[in-house]
């Protein structure tokens, strides 16, 4: 497929991810961005983007004039056909529902140019299944942004069964041009790459707590104070090379029989959900949380990300 030069990006779904993703593309001065939502007004969407940008202005990442220019490059539409008519790239960010997404891509097809690239921001669902109701599937690709998309650099670019290499290459190029770190995921598997890695760790973490080896706060401290410090500069594969494949092999041979290998979610997690102990949503999860503690936790994370990524 001949990749078009990307000049206009349409985002479908003006929720948490859609607004952030629109902001990311609009940060490139030569891109125009449209955003479409069936339920939320254009004014509310632009307010949300302004609200996200206020944080960056407050920290000195953008000047107020730069933030205003970003918002000015985003045009909201309540009509899908108008929003996508000139789009070179469409990013679907509507709710995580297979039938809804399949229907969206089917309806989108006659409204967009034949060479437009169509992306889905699904967190976990099969890109191949999402594309299955569409006729021209070579241009449909997964672009899994992480939350908050305005800060986390990674975007997993997932090649579905029918996605062409040209679609993947052009998608990676435009994401890199707006400062993201796109990675190529060669197979459309559940959890792609980074969600699989994250939840492999979470499975072991919950298991350690469940079996009384350490409490929840201690598990978090263990990660934050050890390999968590290295992770921004040393991934697991380079780490294996650094310590030696022979050492990794001997540790794996000895340790793996003792690691959690459950094929279902932990009963401890299931009990928490049944009891309504959902974490921040209910004020109690593995720990009890006051409003102030939750706000402090969110603030700590955002400030850390801005410091790490923007040095502010
Ligand atoms: N929230 C996260 O942390 C996260 C991270 C990565 C990926 N995702 C994925 O991104 C997608 C969007 O998630 P979100 O958190 O932004 O959801 P959200 O609920 O905040 O936003 C979804 C928006 O889509 C709109 N909408 C619903 N149906 C629509 C339709 N048919 N056409 C146009 N707009 C429609 C809704 O009005 C809403 O504004 C989901 O697939 C989700 O799994 C979410």
Same structural domain, 120 and 38: yes
**pLDDT tens for residues 47-65?**
999 999 999 999 999 999 9
Domain of 308 in residue numbering reads as 276-312
User: Are 38 and 63 a contacting pair, CB within 8 Å?
Assistant: no
17 Cα: distance to centroid of ligand 1 (angstroms): 6
CA distance 263 to 133: 31
**pLDDT tens for residues 115-153?**
999 999 999 999 999 999 999 999 999 999 999 999 999
Model pTM score: 0.95
State the closest ligand 1 atom to the C-alpha of 122, by its place in the atom list counted from 1. 41
Same structural domain, 166 and 112: yes
User: Considering the domain boundaries, does residue 178 fall inside one?
Assistant: yes
DSSP characters for 5-65?
PP-EEEEE--SHHHHHHHHHHHTSTT-EEEEE-SSS-HHHHHHHHHHHHHHHHHTTSS-HH
User: Considering the domain boundaries, does residue 1 fall inside one?
Assistant: no
Residue with CA nearest ligand 1 atom 20:
15
Confidence of residue 1 (pLDDT cuts 50, 70, 90): very low
For residue 148, whether the previous peptide bond is cis, meaning omega lies within 30 degrees of 0, is: yes
Indicate the average pLDDT of the chain.
97
**CATH code for position 54:** 3.40.50.720
Same structural domain, 39 and 179: yes
Confidence of residue 262 (pLDDT cuts 50, 70, 90): very high
User: Are 23 and 189 a contacting pair, CB within 8 Å?
Assistant: no
CA distance 125 to 103: 15
For residue 182, the SS3 value is strand
Within 10 angstroms of residue 62's Cβ, the number of other Cβ atoms is 19
pLDDT at 30: 96
User: Considering the domain boundaries, does residue 212 fall inside one?
Assistant: yes
Same structural domain, 238 and 258: yes
Same structural domain, 157 and 16: yes
Same structural domain, 111 and 36: yes
State the closest ligand 1 atom to the C-alpha of 100, by its place in the atom list counted from 1. 31
Same structural domain, 51 and 179: yes
pLDDT reading at 3 higher than 70 = no
**pLDDT tens for residues 82-102?**
999 999 999 999 999 999 999
Same structural domain, 136 and 226: no
Residue ending a domain, among 134, 156, 185, is 185
User: Considering the domain boundaries, does residue 17 fall inside one?
Assistant: yes
pLDDT at 4: 63
Residue ending a domain, among 140, 167, 185, is 185
Q: How many domains is the chain built from?
A: 3
Residue with CA nearest ligand 1 atom 32:
38
257 Cα: distance to centroid of ligand 1 (angstroms): 40
Which residues form ligand 1's pocket by a CB distance below 6 Å?
A: 12-18, 36-40, 93-96, 100, 104, 121-123, 145, 147
pLDDT reading at 20 higher than 60 = yes
**pLDDT tens for residues 242-255?**
999 999 999 999 99
How confident is the model over 107-115, as a mean pLDDT? 96
Residue ending a domain, among 129, 157, 185, is 185
Residue with CA nearest ligand 1 atom 7:
123
**pLDDT tens for residues 227-244?**
999 999 999 999 999 999
User: Considering the domain boundaries, does residue 54 fall inside one?
Assistant: yes
Round to the nearest angstrom and report the end-to-end CA distance of the chain. Answer: 41
């Amino acid at each position: 497929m001949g990749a078009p030069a990307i000049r206009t990006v349409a985002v479908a779904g003006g929720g948490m991810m859609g607004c952030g993703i629109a902001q990311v593309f609009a940060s490139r001065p030569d891109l125009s961005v449209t955003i479409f939502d069936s339920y939320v007004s254009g004014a509310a969407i632009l307010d949300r983007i302004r609200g996200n940008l206020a944080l960056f202005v407050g920290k000195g990442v953008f000047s107020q004039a730069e933030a205003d220019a970003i918002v000015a490059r985003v045009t909201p539409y309540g009509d899908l056909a108008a929003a996508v008519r000139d789009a070179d790239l469409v990013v679907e960010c509507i709710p995580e529902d297979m039938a809804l997404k399949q229907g969206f891509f089917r309806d989108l097809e006659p409204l967009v140019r034949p060479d437009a690239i169509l992306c889905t921001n699904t967190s976990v669902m099969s890109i191949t299944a999402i594309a299955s109701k569409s006729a021209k599937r070579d241009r449909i690709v997964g672009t899994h942004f992480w939350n908050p998309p305005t800060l986390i650099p990674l975007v997993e670019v997932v090649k579905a069964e029918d996605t062409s290499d040209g679609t993947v290459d052009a998608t990676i190029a435009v994401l890199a041009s707006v400062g993201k770190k796109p990675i190529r995921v060669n197979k459309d598997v559940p959890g792609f790459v980074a969600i699989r890695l994250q939840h492999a760790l979470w499975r072991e973490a919950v298991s350690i707590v469940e079996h009384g080896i350490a409490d929840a706060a201690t598990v978090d401290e263990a990660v934050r104070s050890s390999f968590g410090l290295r992770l921004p500069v040393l991934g697991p594969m380079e780490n294996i090379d650094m310590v030696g494949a022979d050492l990794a092999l001997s540790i794996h041979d000895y340790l793996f029989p003792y690691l959690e290998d459950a094929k279902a979610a932990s009963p401890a997690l299931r009990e928490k959900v049944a009891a309504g102990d959902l974490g921040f949503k209910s004020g109690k999860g593995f720990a009890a949380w006051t409003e102030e503690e939750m706000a402090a936790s969110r603030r700590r994370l955002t400030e850390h990300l801005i410091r790490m990524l923007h040095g502010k």
